[in-house]
Amino acid sequence: GEQVRSRLFEPKNVVITCSSSAKLTTSLDSYWLNKSLLLSIDKKMSSNFDPWSRQNDEKLYDIAKSYKKENKTYQIPQHTTLDIQPLDKYDNRQIKKFIKKLYNSAALRGIDISMYKRNNISKLVSLVYNQLCSPIFHKIIQYTRYACSYTKENSSPFKNINDVCFPYEEAYTECEAHHCLEIILATCAYCAKKLCFNHFFMDYHYHE
């Protein structure tokens, strides 16, 4: 509704909608295709979808034609997701690590914030995705395709989330924001600035 939308934090790199359940539906998949995926790719794409009934209808992906995109669809066989689905193979672990660090930091430091509120979730997803889009992590994306046997080029060795954003030797370093004496939360994957929870999350440290 308009009352909710007027107070909604809407980051540039996240498409927000609502649904009546927490499960993926065909309409949500269609919305994602129209509002996100098809607007962000070039002329060709390959759709590898899970054997989930709400998203394995190939007709759903025919909409690519109306955007003048060439699309080839492939269904991942049942019980093989952990082996040949790139996100499950490696990428999702990096996302979960970053999110866990943010939640744990807020809890351990006793910060008066509810990370489960709508706007904080939107901000969290936006910041984590923004960090993972840094060029320093491009080799991770390439590696997951190799690990799933989609390509023959092995991009390892590479630096992961812990190496870049949460190096152990910098765990008790002070925040580099002006006049801040707080212990850092993360090192930015773009500018390498070391920031505490407030200056990274609350101030929304986003890179264009």
Structure token digits, residue 134: 């840094």
Structure token digits, residue 86: 């790139």
User: ∠ CA 106-94-195 to the nearest 5 degrees?
Assistant: 40
Against a cut of 0.85, is the pTM above it?
A: yes
137-153 pLDDT, tens digit per residue, is: 999 989 998 999 989 99
Among 80-84, 109-113, 116-120, 154-158, the minimum mean pLDDT is found in 80-84
Query: Among 42, 44, 15, which residue's Cα sits nearest to residue 31?
Result: 15
71-86 pLDDT, tens digit per residue, is: 777 788 888 888 888 8
Structure token digits, residue 143: 């590696």
